[in-house]
Amino acid sequence: MTGAKKHSKQLPKGASAVLVVICIVLYGLSYFARVSYNVTLTELSGVIPFDTVGLIGTVYFLCYAVGQLLNGLVITKVSPFVYLPAGMFVSAACNLFMAFAQSPVLMTAVWGINGFAQSMLWAPILIIFTETIAPALKDKALLWLSVAAPVGTLLCYLLGGVLIDFGYAYVFICAAALLLAGITVFFLFCFSARKKFVIAQTEADGAAALDLSADKKKATIFTCMGIVSLGMLFLSVTVQGMLKDGMTAWVPTMLKDKFTLSSSLSVFLTMLLPVINVFGAFAATLLYRKTRGKKEFAICAVFMTLAVMLTAVMMIPNINEYGFAVLLSVITTAMFGFNQVSIVLIPLRFEAVNKVAAVSGALNAFTYLGSAIASYAIGLIRDRYSWTAVILFIFAVAILGAVTSIVGQLADSAGRKRRL
């Protein structure tokens, strides 16, 4: 190995840091361009039925889920530096179209396209972070990437709360403008920075790579995690998606309708969610490190059990809008912690079989499948029954999530013992 040149696509540390910041900012802005619809629900729900409003959200989540599965395959053949801005440009265009769309059918089609376009972001960023940035930055980059989601959501609720009083179209226009600005910065810096990659290879590294490939051929996904644990993981992330994004989409409307608030006040109260959600990613990462990555399902069970208890508290009569908003904030924070463990950290187990991105993408797809189910189900339950029935639905879903996480931990612990 002495005197050998190292094979690497990594940027110098300084350029890596700038690239990380740009990607994180763009990821945050992408959330503005997806949460924009949630902000406008307070106005749209007065024009079209709740179940139709929920259907538009469901189509978005389904298209996002399908996109996550497909893009994990396509990204291996396309540069992430091209694929990422292409998806964000389409997302910006969809937000602009939504500002002027009047027909529910057209809105559904456009927002579905936005869902697919938004799914074109995660896989490219994961590849950029794992293959091109300095190793010392990777852990911090993944953590702050998770933090960018609630920050982008907060920005949307903050600006959206002001703009919504002038008309919901301005929320979509603002989302499109910010995303286009982010894409421009990405192109200006990243397109030139990618030319600085250092690409070299040595015979020794090549031999090591061949040996590693041979080992990987012997290993399978089930070598890294047992089939029962893997099944519980996919079921639990589906439940998590129902609570994290499926429920969150309805929060402004729930507050407005349940407590007879103005659109702007309900949106501003919803700002509590992303403010507190930031702590979910930090808590999850801390617990993961404390348990040395051996109790991921147990951490997920803790977050889901917290959601069960707080949903039960929401059913207590005479809770005012502020207490209700705080409870919703802590529940979604627990789901952000769950998401950090299940979508970002657990897939690292599959590095031995070179399936980190594929597993993460599949898990993300099931997360948004859950979001799609909940988005429509909540609108339908509210239309047919009441918000109390919706809370009972959330309570039942949270119990299912806690049970699947506990079963997953038991199966995973047993599997680890067998592999020793």
> Is residue 371 in some structural domain?
yes
Q: Assess whether pLDDT exceeds 50 at residue 209.
A: no
pLDDT mean over 326-332: 91
Q: Give the residue among 376, 118, 66, 111 at the shortest CA–CA distance from 247.
A: 376
Task: Specify whether 278 is located in the same domain as 307.
Answer: yes
- C-beta atoms surrounding 111 within 10 Å: 24
Q: Assess whether pLDDT exceeds 70 at residue 208.
A: no
Q: Assess whether pLDDT exceeds 70 at residue 58.
A: yes
Instruction: Give the pLDDT score at 210.
Output: 46
Task: Specify whether 273 is located in the same domain as 386.
Answer: yes
Could you tell me which residues come within 8 angstroms of residue 46 by beta carbon, excluding any fewer than 6 positions away?
none
Instruction: Give the pLDDT score at 198.
Output: 40
pLDDT mean over 274-298: 86
Read off φ and ψ for residue 354, nearest 5 degrees: 60, 40
> Is residue 213 in some structural domain?
no
Q: Assess whether pLDDT exceeds 70 at residue 218.
A: no
Task: Specify whether 195 is located in the same domain as 344.
Answer: no
> Is residue 216 in some structural domain?
no
User: Of 200, 231, 262, which residue sits at a domain end?
Assistant: 200
For 102-111, the pLDDT digits (tens) are 888 999 999 9
d(CA 218, CA 209): 14
> Is residue 210 in some structural domain?
no
d(CA 223, CA 11): 33
Q: Give the residue among 34, 38, 59 at the shortest CA–CA distance from 120.
A: 34
User: Of 200, 235, 260, which residue sits at a domain end?
Assistant: 200
pTM, 2 dp? 0.77
Task: Specify whether 186 is located in the same domain as 231.
Answer: no
Place of tokens 């590294």: 205
> Is residue 205 in some structural domain?
no
Q: Which domain covers residue 270, as residue numbers?
A: 221-420
pLDDT mean over 78-86: 86
User: Of 170, 200, 230, which residue sits at a domain end?
Assistant: 200
Helices (H), strands (E): how many in the chain?
17, 0
CA distance to 127, 228, 345, per residue, from 220 (Å)? 21, 15, 19
> Is residue 146 in some structural domain?
yes
- C-beta atoms surrounding 156 within 10 Å: 30
Amino acid at 295: K
> Is residue 60 in some structural domain?
yes
Domains in the chain, number = 2
CATH code where residue 398 lies:
1.20.1250.20
Q: Is the dihedral of CA 204, 209, 214, 215 positive or negative?
A: positive
86: pLDDT confidence band, cut at 50, 70 and 90?
Answer: very high
Instruction: Give the pLDDT score at 72.
Output: 72
CA distance to 72, 282, 297, 346, 409, per residue, from 140 (Å)? 23, 11, 22, 16, 26
Task: Specify whether the CB–CB gap between 200 and 8 falls below 8 A.
Answer: yes
Least confident residue range of 92-101, 194-203, 224-233, 254-263:
194-203
> Is residue 214 in some structural domain?
no
Cα 316 from chain centre:
30
CA distance to 98, 106, 128, per residue, from 170 (Å)? 10, 18, 33
Question: Would you mind telling me the total number of residues written for the chain in this entry?
Answer: 420
